[in-house]
Amino acid sequence: MLLAVSPLSYAQNLSVTIIDSDGAGIADAVVEVVLPAEVAARFATSNDAEIDQVDKEFVPTTTAIVVGSKIHFPNSDDILHHVYSFSPINTFDIPLYGNGVNASFIEEFAEAGVVEIGCNIHDWMLAYVYVANSSKVALSDAEGKVRIDGLPAGTYPLRVWHARLPRNTDYQMESVTIQDSGTAELIVSLELERERRIRRAPSANSKRYR
Mean pLDDT of the chain: 89
Mean pLDDT of the region 169-194: 93
| Core vs surface per residue 142-169: b (16+ CB within 10 A) or e | eebebebeebbbbebebbbbbbbbeeee
pLDDT of residue 9: 42
Tell me the pLDDT tens digit for each residue of 154-174: 999 999 999 999 988 899 999
Q: Which domains does the chain have, with CATH numbers?
A: 1-43+133-195 (2.60.40.10), 45-126 (2.60.40.420)
CA proximity to 80, closest of 59, 61, 95, 60: 95
Helix, strand and coil content of the chain, in percent to the nearest 5, comes to: 5, 45, 55
Bigger pLDDT: 104 or 70? Answer: 70
Q: How far is CA 106 from the centre of its chain?
A: 17
CA nearest to 28, candidates 132, 171, 139, 159: 139
pLDDT category of residue 5 using cuts at 50, 70 and 90: very low
The pLDDT of residue 208 is: 47
Predicted confidence band at 1 (pLDDT cuts at 50, 70, 90)? very low
> Which pLDDT score is estimated for 201?
64
pTM for the complete prediction?
0.88
Higher pLDDT, 1 or 172: 172
pLDDT tens track for 122-139: 999 999 999 999 999 999
Report, as an integer, the average pLDDT of 144-162.
96
Give the pLDDT confidence score for residue 101 in this predicted structure: 77
Q: Does 37 have pLDDT greater than 80?
A: yes
- Which pLDDT score is estimated for 70? 97
CA distances for 111 relative to 33, 88, 158, 171, 192, angstroms: 17, 10, 19, 16, 26
